[in-house]
Amino acid sequence: MTAQKEVALPQLIVVLGPTASGKSSLGINLAQTFRGEIVSADSRQVYRGLDIGTAKVTPEEQRLVPHHLLDVADPREIYTVAQFKQAAMEAIDGIIHRGLVPFLVGGSPHYIQAVVDNLDIPQVEPQPALRAELEQRPLPELLAQLEELDPQSATTIDRNNPRRIIRALEVCLITGKPFSAQRRLADPRYHSLLLGIHWPREILYQRIDERVDIRMQQGMVDEVRKLLAEGVPAERLDAMGLEYRFISRLLQGQFTDQAEMVQRLKYAIHDFTRRQLTWFRKEKRIVWIEGGTDVEQQARTIVSDFLKQRQIL
């Protein structure tokens, strides 16, 4: 009987953290230091035209380090986690093939888990007619149906994100099986280092508020106005994250003034960040570094030690 050959898993470095924690700049610094390229793990930055509201890295920053999976989808269409996983793994494998170090950078837990844990995701094509029907129903009604069909997904899903809820229902209704029961772990493709940036809660909220103010100054309202003019429905923007949801509602006259909208948006992002942190706290593999003046040096030391290792199968 021939002995099975031992194979070293390719190494993958994941830079993650909550909103406004500094993931993008740290990822660029590390990729420059360790001859790497970046694969974005942001469920909104995949869409063209969603730039200011998603804090997408600028063209100047992209010239510092090659970035993958930015601007790959039309915002009028839904880009699924299964599509992301396939494209991300192709990009990561290409980086490894070129003898460089892949960095997966972002804060979307479902994107990160799909790659790191090699999730076997249900390959259910979008069902336009069913989605159109579900989109007409109130969110509480959709949540009640999901709780009935798939209690596990109902407890872990972002309950304020109609797009995620509708996708979970779509898979349940088409396959006749709970969405959560169909997301299985396959053998890992990579030996992954999960590197997270931690800030005290009050400092993180301050960073969030400052970034909202900067985005408003950069023209975030005009960005949303342009997307609407280009034919992206307000209902679609409502599902594209808090910034787009609140600003599209501002433009529809649902706020008394812009100042009220901005303040309520900041509070909503704080609440969203708490949910992000809940997921991150459950992920025990994350190596946390403290945000601050020496964050890059902390990260470089950890990454350097990791790259000296090789995990053997």
User: Does 17 carry a binding-site annotation?
Assistant: yes
Name the residue type at position 115: V
pLDDT tens for residues 169-200? 888 888 888 876 666 667 899 999 999 999 99
Q: Helix, strand or coil for residue 117?
A: coil
User: Does 88 carry a binding-site annotation?
Assistant: no
Q: For position 122, what pLDDT does the model report?
A: 67
pLDDT tens for residues 236-259? 898 888 999 999 999 999 999 999
On the question of pLDDT at 2 being above 90, the answer is: no
Q: How confident is the model at residue 7 (pLDDT cuts 50, 70, 90)?
A: low
Class of domain 11-121+183-307: alpha beta
Phi-psi region of 31 (alpha: psi -120 to 50; beta: other; left: phi over 0): alpha
- Report the CATH architecture of 122-182: Orthogonal Bundle (1.10)
User: Does 175 carry a binding-site annotation?
Assistant: no
- Give the whole-angstrom CA distance, residue 231 versus residue 19: 28
User: Which residues in the chain are classed under CATH 3.40.50.300?
Assistant: 11-121+183-307
User: Does 5 carry a binding-site annotation?
Assistant: no
Confidence (pTM) = 0.83
User: Does 196 carry a binding-site annotation?
Assistant: no
pLDDT tens for residues 128-146? 888 888 888 888 898 899 8
In terms of Cα–Cα distance, which of 203, 199, 197, 201 is closest to 286? 197
On the question of pLDDT at 228 being above 70, the answer is: yes
pLDDT tens for residues 87-114? 999 999 999 999 999 999 998 888 999 9
- Give the whole-angstrom CA distance, residue 313 versus residue 310: 10
User: Does 284 carry a binding-site annotation?
Assistant: no
User: Does 21 carry a binding-site annotation?
Assistant: yes
Q: What is the mean pLDDT of residues 296-312?
A: 87
What are the distances in angstroms from CA 6 to CA 13, 66, 74?
A: 22, 32, 42
User: Which residues in the chain are classed under CATH 1.10.20.140?
Assistant: 122-182
Instruction: Give 152-158's long-range contacts (Cβ < 8 A, gap of 24+).
Output: 152/178, 152/180, 152/181, 153/178, 153/179, 153/180, 156/180, 158/275
User: Does 3 carry a binding-site annotation?
Assistant: no
Q: Which of 48-62, 129-143, 156-170, 279-293 has the lowest mean pLDDT?
A: 156-170
Q: Helix, strand or coil for residue 151?
A: helix
